[in-house]
Amino acid sequence: MRRWTVGGALVPGPEGLLLVANQRRNGSVDWSTPGGVIDEGESLIEGLTREVAEETGLVVTDWDGPVYEVEAVAEGLGWHLRVEAHVAVAYEGSLRIGDPDGIVIDARFVPWAQCAAQLVGAPRWVQEPLADWAVERWVDRRHFGYRVHGAAQREIEVVRL
């Protein structure tokens, strides 16, 4: 079972919430927060700060959270994902795309009321917590759990626990 931890950056701005477009190997595009896999030896905040800078050009200087955690387990696909989402309280720089992994192809501040619509196409474990937080913007830590059933990507069923 492959296990990994991902940091998700909730970066509010005057125009809304920062979202990035991710181009997947199959050519599809979905939107999420900036962030990514935390490298071995990095703290979650170090890795999250690095990912945001690489993907968007913004340097976060102060974080709050986590405001939510996600755990998604896909036994049939052989993976276990844990996500921590933190709020960027202060940041500097200007928005530019420079993802060294070549996944992030666009970034923009999306008006709060349009976040849920922008997330259509993202995995359920990305859509639901993020859309809920964009509406409520809670500060206490919440947990979202998912089980992913199926042994092939095209036939999975995602169940919220």
Separation CA 48–CA 24 (nearest Å): 20
Are 128 and 160 contacting, i.e. CB atoms less than 8 angstroms apart? Answer: yes
Question: What phi, psi does 97 have (nearest 5°)?
Answer: -90, 130
Cβ contacts of residue 40 below 8 Å, gap of 6+? Answer: none
Alpha helices (runs of H) in the chain, residue ranges in sequence order: 44-56, 115-118, 124-136
pTM over cut 0.85: yes
Residue 137 belongs to what domain range? 2-160
What pLDDT does 153 receive?
A: 81
Angle (nearest 5°) at CA 40 between 37 and 44: 55
Domain count, the chain: 1
User: What are the tens digits of pLDDT across the range 7-55?
Assistant: 999 999 999 999 999 999 888 999 999 999 999 999 999 999 999 999 9
Question: What confidence tens digit (pLDDT) does each residue in 68-123 have?
Answer: 999 999 999 999 999 999 999 999 999 999 899 999 999 999 999 999 999 999 99
CATH number of the domain to which 79 belongs: 3.90.79.10
pLDDT at 155: 87
pLDDT computed for residue 156 by the predictor = 92
Q: How far apart are the first and last CA of the chain?
A: 20
